[in-house]
A and B are shown apart, each in its own frame.
Chain A
Amino acid sequence: MSSVLYDTPGPRAKRRNVLLSIVFTLLLVLLLWWVWQKMDDKNQLEWKLWEPFTTGEAWTTYLLPGLGDTLKAAAISMVIALPLGAVFGIARMSDHAWVRGAAGTVVEFFRAIPVLLLMLFANEFYVRSTDISSEQRPLYAVVTGLVLYNASVLAEVVRAGILSLPRGQTEAAYAVGLRKGQTMTSILLPQAVTAMLPAIVSQLVVIVKDTALGGVMLGFTELLNSRSTLAANYANVIPSFIVVGIIYIIVNFILTSFASWLEKRLRRSKKSTGAVLGEDTEVNPAAVGGTFGTGGEGGGPSGFTFKDKPPR
């Protein structure tokens, strides 16, 4: 295998690589052994701490309802944030300066604020100004915080997606007599959505991860919060952290894999059908991070290049 950094290895390089592999394996084994010893020292390997996870009770009383709440909050947030983000993303490209300016200010403002502050604020707002019951309030606060933050992130994704389309699409639409609104809804958006899909799915990972904040700071009964109830019951702090960590990894790994599968598929279908013509079909600003074409017009290697296209 050749890369920018090194040549295809010859006999000496191969020997060196094998040696390095052995040294690295030893270090890794040493580290694992040390962790294992530490866990053993603190009695974290005892079967009675792990046993609850083999029975149904721990799952049906704590983990699954927690996971359910996590996914529920994430799903609701996504469903509200996506249309809102689309509206703001399109508003940012408006022909009217005041619409552009207002939408831009809102988007940049909410993107600059930590999602935790939004959640805390929303929670307090609901306490003082509404009569939402205290069991429902954490969910409302978490969803509000996530929607405000992610709508502004998705607004940028939508904008990048639409800007990634060749200008000929807009021109052709105007040429056949479509209005601005018609051009957006029936020509640009449908094409942009396919380009944006991977980015939207990866944003879902961010949302799922951020729900955990609500569990610790607002007492929302999601997965991380159920973990502490579970650990209080079985006194198995470390095992419960490990199990919950694995659940998060599996859920998010599925989402990430789905996103990159989508990306790969979209890229392939674009090439074969030539659905999107133009010089920059291979550079997709809305694409998720991962692989990056080396051609195309600069922009950083980040998946998202949130900048306007240079004039052609």
Chain B
Amino acid sequence: MFDFLEGYDVLGAFWMTVKLTALSAVGSLIWGTLLAAMRVSPVPLMRGFGTAYVNIVRNIPLTVIIVFASLGLADIFGVTMGAADNFDVQGFRLAVLGFVVYTASFVCEAIRSGINTVPLGQAEAARAIGLNFSQTLRLIVLPQAFRSVIGPLANVLIALTKNTTVAAAIGVAEAAALMKTMIENEAQTLAIGAVFALGFVVLTLPTGLLLGWLAKRLAVKR
């Protein structure tokens, strides 16, 4: 019944999806946090840069960014990401770069909104009892802010998992690329579709449930 799977490395393709997701998640979390820090910083210029970055990147389709990474960065500017002779590795790294650039803007917005949920009175009260800036930040503001962004960040992570399929556009051998090949060559369209759909449900559903549970558990009750 599942003989159509023979000769195709479905698990390998999904492993590629997982690798893309994990690396991009870490990268975009770092870059997104930096951007969020800029957006709430007291320096107007940094705030302006953060706002401009988020508004520009969020409004460009991810597909455009990924295709540009391949056709523009790699082919024209010769950005080979340290893998000039290995096309597969190069495509993978370029895709991760694209995902980080794109996803960071969403991470930034999630974190910034988390900081915004902390009422001003919390910081004022902290200063009133004599805590200094770093104490206020470490003990009062950030713990509340982080706990309230788990939910939104989980949504970003799930969206990222699904977005990694766009890497198929530049020939990275992940799940969607394999599905395209299989669905064109094999007869069992529906079964192939179901297998890949199931794969993504398996990847995204536990993430959502786990982080949703965590978000609910850790939410600051106000």
- A residues contacting B by CB (< 8 A) are 1-7, 9, 13, 17, 20-21, 24-25, 28, 38, 42, 44, 108-109, 112-117, 120-121, 124-125, 128, 205, 208-213, 215-217, 224, 237-238, 241, 244-245, 248-249, 252-253, 256, 289, 291-292, 294-298, 300-302, 304-305, 307
Q: Are B61 and A210 in contact (CB under 8 A)?
A: yes
Q: Are B183 and A124 in contact (CB under 8 A)?
A: yes
For A117, what are the chain B residues with a Cβ–Cβ distance below 8 Å? 165, 175-176, 179, 193, 196-197, 200
Contact stretch, chosen from B2-10, B87-95, B120-128: B120-128
What's the least CB distance linking A63 to chain B, in Å? 14
For B165, what are the chain A residues with a Cβ–Cβ distance below 8 Å? 114, 116-117
Taking A6-B42, A20-B46, A115-B162 as known contacts, 19 extra A-B pairs with beta carbons closer than 8 A to each other, sorted by chain A number, are A25-B45, A109-B197, A112-B204, A113-B201, A114-B163, A117-B176, A117-B179, A117-B196, A211-B61, A237-B76, A241-B71, A256-B59, A298-B219, A298-B220, A298-B221, A300-B215, A301-B110, A301-B114, A305-B151
A238-B72, A301-B152 given; A294·B60 CB < 8 A: no
Partner of B116, one of A115, A116, A292: A292
Q: Are A109 and B201 in contact (CB under 8 A)?
A: yes
Once bound together, how far apart are the Cα atoms of A305 and B168, in whole Å? 31
Q: Are B42 and A300 in contact (CB under 8 A)?
A: no
Main secondary structure of the interface of B (DSSP, over half): helix
Partner of B155, one of A25, A116, A253, A302: A302
For B55, what are the chain A residues with a Cβ–Cβ distance below 8 Å? 253, 256
Once bound together, how far apart are the Cα atoms of A302 and B201, in whole Å? 22
Q: Are A224 and B76 in contact (CB under 8 A)?
A: no
Offer 26 A-B interface pairs, CB within 8 angstroms, sorted by A: A5-B40, A6-B42, A17-B43, A17-B44, A21-B43, A38-B77, A112-B162, A112-B197, A112-B204, A113-B201, A114-B163, A116-B165, A116-B176, A117-B175, A121-B183, A209-B59, A209-B62, A213-B63, A216-B67, A238-B72, A248-B59, A248-B64, A294-B119, A300-B148, A301-B113, A301-B149
